Amino acid sequence: MPISEVAGASKEAVNHPSHYAAHYRREVIELTSHFDFTTGNALKYVLRCRFKGRPTEDLQKAHWYLNYFSDHPESGFLKSEGLEPVLADFLTDLANQKDQLFGEEAGRFVRNLVAAVQLAPEFWAPELEAAKTALETLIKASEA
């Protein structure tokens, strides 16, 4: 069986699951592919947290990856080519969320994390702190 085929699963459920693809104009992987594993996972867990039934757990995972990124300055940015339109689409979609708190704080998290990884480690502390604050606000809201 080719790797692209998964036994017992519909192709659509594997390649473009509705709980991931229906909430933003782009799939999350289009954004995360611009970053290293750690940063991409932090972004992924925030952007998908409301669609799998465990938002607090997913946000806590994002927090873990954010802390890892903070402690490992060698991680971060992979490629900037093509990032701007993808980032702009996600930020616009977040700004238009029905859940205004989520949209604002998730947008702030994404903006600040992306800004941090584009800086040299000695300059990223304010951006990283703002991303962490936004994430902690999201975690508290998810626990309420």
In the chain, domain spans: 11-143
Instruction: Provide the token pair at 16.
Output: 């473009």
Q: Residue 12: CB partners within 8 Å, gap ≥ 6?
A: 18
**pLDDT, tens digit (0-9, with 9 covering 90-100), for 1-29:** 454 555 555 566 566 666 566 689 999 99
**pLDDT, tens digit (0-9, with 9 covering 90-100), for 43-80:** 999 999 998 889 999 999 999 999 999 998 777 666 78
